[in-house]
Amino acid sequence: MDEAFWLKRWQDSAIPFHKAEPNHYLRKYFGRLGLAAGDEVLVPLCGKSVDMRWLARRGCCVTGVELSEIAARDFFEEQGIQAAERREGAFLVLEGGGVTLLCGDFFSLSSARTARVAAAYDRAALIALPAEMRMRYAEHLLSLLAADTPILLLTFEYPAHDIDGPPFSVGEAEVRRLFAGRRRVTRMESLDRLANETNLAERGVTRLEEHAFLLSGS
């Protein structure tokens, strides 16, 4: 899944992963991140997720990272937020309403930019990437965070041969492997979500679980 793939998805509005409502696991497990008002939350590969608005309304300073400028501009327009715009190194930055969107490649983000991040939230980011990129993603994410910074990670798991991703199937064993020795991995909950993800059912997914993992300082 290269840059061109995702930019075209946004150009074509082929974005079934985008949801109108804040994620149920985020609402349920937000409290487990132990955040105080004003704490910064990193949202990698954020799209135009309404979860960012939800986090900002709970008093978080949200930093999202997203390749597509269309997604970033749509976010502010759809949320009715006037965004200020500036350049910051390789990133175009749009900012307003407690949300800062860094438009550019997540893999170009440096730890200097994330020094104050108190938690990370990954929904449909790790699972957007093919196997060979998931290790690189986990390594980069960990390199951006202090050793005790918690991560709320949501993944889908389905019979691997049902469809070609994205989204890719990522189960507990892989999450444990990716974060081994760096985070304590707790699977908080798993739910059957096939009825909620009709586009995946239509593509041929026969069983679908959504997992919520809390990755905490080990």
Ligand X SMILES: C[S@@+](CC[C@H](N)C(=O)[O-])C[C@H]1O[C@@H](n2cnc3c(N)ncnc32)[C@H](O)[C@@H]1O
In Å, what is the CA distance from 174 to each residue of 24, 74, 138, 185, 210?
A: 23, 33, 11, 11, 14
106 lines the binding site for ligand X (CB under 6 A): yes
CB of 129 to ligand X, least distance (A): 7
**If binding means CB under 6 A, how many residues of this protein chain bind ligand X?**
20
Compute the 3-state secondary structure of the chain and give helix, strand, coil in percent, each to the nearest 5.
35, 25, 40
- CA 26 – CA 73 distance, rounded (Å): 23
Residue nearest to ligand X as judged by C-beta position: 47
**22 preceded by a cis bond (ω within 30 of 0):** no
- Residue selected from 72, 118, 128, 212 as contacting ligand X according to rule CB under 6 A: 128
66 lines the binding site for ligand X (CB under 6 A): yes
71 lines the binding site for ligand X (CB under 6 A): yes
54 lines the binding site for ligand X (CB under 6 A): no
- How deeply is 153 buried, as exposed, middle or buried, from its count of CB atoms within 10 A (0-12, 13-18, 19+)? buried
157 lines the binding site for ligand X (CB under 6 A): no
- Residue selected from 6, 29, 156, 179 as contacting ligand X according to rule CB under 6 A: 6
47 lines the binding site for ligand X (CB under 6 A): yes
- Residue selected from 85, 88, 105, 192 as contacting ligand X according to rule CB under 6 A: 105
Q: At what angle do helices 69-79 and 50-57 cross, to 10 degrees?
A: 50
- CA 180 – CA 166 distance, rounded (Å): 24
In the complex with ligand X, which residue's Cβ is closer, 4 or 147? 4
Binding site for ligand X (CB under 6 A): 6, 17-18, 45-47, 49, 65-68, 71, 105-107, 123-125, 128, 166
